[in-house]
Amino acid sequence: MGVHVVPESFVEEQLRSVLSDMDVDVVKTGMLPSIGVVKVLCDSLRKFPVKALVVDPVMVSTSGDTLSAPSTLSGYRDQLFAMADIVTPNLKEASALLGGAPLKTVYDMRDAAKSIYNLGPRHVLVKGGDLSDSSDAIDIFFDGQTCHELRGSRVKTRNTHGTGCTMASCIAAELAKGSAMLQAVQEAKAFVESALHYSKDMAIGNGPQGPFDHLFRLKSPHYNVGATPRFNPDDLFLYAVTDSRMNKKWGRSITDAVQAAIEGGATIIQLREKEAETREFIESAKACLEICRSSRVPLLINDRVDVALACGADGVHVGQSDMPARTARELLGPGKIIGVSCKTPAQAEKAWADGADYIGCGGVFPTTTKEDNITVGMEGLKAVCLASKLPVVAIGGIGIANARSVMEIGVPNLKGIAIVSALFDRECVATETRKLRSVLMDACSRTNLSV
Ligand SMILES: Cc1ncc(COP(=O)(O)OP(=O)(O)O)c(N)n1
Ligand SMILES: Cc1ncsc1CCOP(=O)(O)O
CATH code: domain 233-447 is 3.20.20.70
Question: Which ligand has an atom closest to residue 362 CA?
Answer: 2
DSSP state of 80: I
Q: What mean pLDDT value characterizes the chain?
A: 89
Comparing 48 with 380, the larger pLDDT belongs to 380
Q: Where are the domains of the chain?
A: 10-224, 233-447
**16-25, 40-49, 164-173: lowest mean pLDDT where?**
16-25
Q: In this structure, which CATH number among 3.40.1190.20, 3.40.50.300, 1.10.645.10, 3.30.420.40 belongs to the domain 10-224?
A: 3.40.1190.20
- pLDDT at residue 253 is higher than 70: yes
Instruction: Check: CB of residue 418 under 8 Å from CB of residue 442.
Output: no
Answer yes or no: is pLDDT of 94 > 90: yes
Query: What's the gap in Å between 362 CA and the centre of ligand 1?
Result: 9
Distance of CA 100 to the CA centre of its chain: 33
178: pLDDT strictly greater than 90: no
pLDDT digits (tens, 9 = 90+) for 1-29: 555 554 445 566 777 777 777 778 899 99
- Ligand 1 geometric centre to CA of 337 (Å): 14
Is the shortest distance between the CB of 413 and ligand 1 below 6 Å? Answer: no
Residues with Cβ within 8 Å of 85's Cβ and at least 6 positions away in sequence, in order, are: 52, 53, 54, 121, 122, 123, 175, 181
Q: Report the percent of the chain where pLDDT is more than 70.
A: 92
* CA distances (Å), origin 61, targets 56, 65, 347: 11, 5, 39
3 state SS for 180-200: CHHHHHHHHHHHHHHHHHHHC
Q: Which pLDDT does position 221 carry in this prediction?
A: 66
Atom of ligand 1 nearest to the CA of 320: 9
**CA dist 5 to 18, 44, 55, 88, 120, Å?**
10, 12, 10, 16, 21
Residues marked active site are found at 127, 160, 162-165
Q: How far apart are CA 96 and CA 88, in angstroms?
A: 13
Pocket test for ligand 1, best of 242, 271, 341 (most atoms within 8 A of CB): 341
Of residues 163 and 396, the one with the higher pLDDT is 396
pTM: 0.70
| Per-residue pLDDT, 346 | 97
Q: Which atom of ligand 1 is nearest to the CA of 322?
A: 10
For strand 136-142 and strand 147-153, is the pairing parallel, antiparallel, or unpaired?
A: antiparallel
DSSP letter for each residue of 128-188 = -TT-TT-SEEEEEEE-SS-EEEEEEEPP--S--TTHHHHHHHHHHHHHHTT--HHHHHHHH
pLDDT on residue 431: 97
The more confidently predicted of residues 56 and 6 is 56
Q: Nearest ligand to the C-alpha of residue 358?
A: 1
Determine the Cα–Cα distance for residues 392 and 384; give it in Å rounded to an integer: 8
Q: Do domains 10-224 and 233-447 have the same CATH topology?
A: no
Pocket of ligand 2 (CB under 6 A): 362-363, 367, 369-370, 373, 395-398, 419-422
Ligand 2 center to residue 419 CA distance, Å? Answer: 7
Predicted confidence band of residue 107 (pLDDT cuts 50, 70, 90): very high
Query: Residue 28: CB within 6 Å of ligand 1?
Result: no
Which range has the worst mean pLDDT, 114-118, 208-212, 237-241, 252-256?
A: 208-212
**Predicted pLDDT of residue 451:** 47
Distance 394 CA to ligand 2 centre (A): 9
The reported pLDDT for the residue numbered 30 is 84
